[in-house]
Amino acid sequence: MRDVFAVGPLHALSPAPASATSLWAQDGGFHEFLAGLVASGYAFLWVLRPDMVDTIQDAALREAVAAVGQDRARVVPWVAQRDVLRHRAVGCFLTHSGWNSTLEGAAEGVPMVCWPFFADQQVNSRFVAAVWGNGLDMKDVTDRAVVERMVREAMESDQVRAAATDVARRLREDVADGGASAKEFQRLVAFIRELSVCPQRKRPGLSS
């Protein structure tokens, strides 16, 4: 028996609600992102922690939202991300591409626009764009024209949307009863139970 278990996405295996996470950190690209979102012409929901903006940024944010209109732009300190992503009104997901957010976007079939910042985000972002094809990789560019173009492309590209739908379908099949991930998860559970009987057995490696 192999001691490596290809389980996951774990959030798709569990009905538990998503925990609070923050996707945005204060950075010099705040105004560029804001301008790009407004220029895209699409309504948007921006999750932004209050302690992540200073007075000048907050004023610019309120001015932009007022110009767009409360019915088309909303800025909130926190949302239940999984619930938002599965809502039929959501057309794309602009994200830093942390692994949890990447999997949640993939599971719900939402095209992604990825702006990676640090750690695993660069790898995840490139995987979304170059392997799965269910999103676009903005890399480390912070420019309003790029934000506008990529949001529009993610919203309007039949190819990206089809890939996002296909990834979500395959993921659902894998975590469903009898699916590859579900079987691996059960094998992992059996392995852990066996460890309690044979504690000297080699510990497993996990892949999710």
Q: At the topology level of CATH, where does 4-207 sit?
A: Rossmann fold (3.40.50)
R_g over Cα of the chain:
19
At residue 18, φ and ψ (nearest 5 deg) are -70, 145
Q: How confident is the model at residue 15, as a pLDDT?
A: 58
Q: How confident is the model at residue 6, as a pLDDT?
A: 79
Mind listing the pLDDT tens digit of every residue in the chain (208 residues)?
567 777 777 777 665 554 444 444 444 568 888 889 999 999 999 988 777 666 666 777 888 788 788 788 988 889 999 999 999 999 999 999 999 999 999 999 999 999 998 889 999 999 999 999 999 999 988 899 999 999 999 999 999 999 999 999 999 999 999 999 999 999 999 999 988 776 555 555 655 5
Q: How confident is the model at residue 104, as a pLDDT?
A: 96
Every domain of the chain and the residues it spans: 4-207
Tokens 């799965």 — which residue? 132
Query: Residue 17 has what DSSP assignment?
Result: P
Q: How confident is the model at residue 29, as a pLDDT?
A: 65
Q: How confident is the model at residue 49, as a pLDDT?
A: 79
Are residues 175 and 3 in contact, defined by beta-carbon separation less than 8 angstroms?
no
Omega prior to 9 cis, within 30 of 0: yes
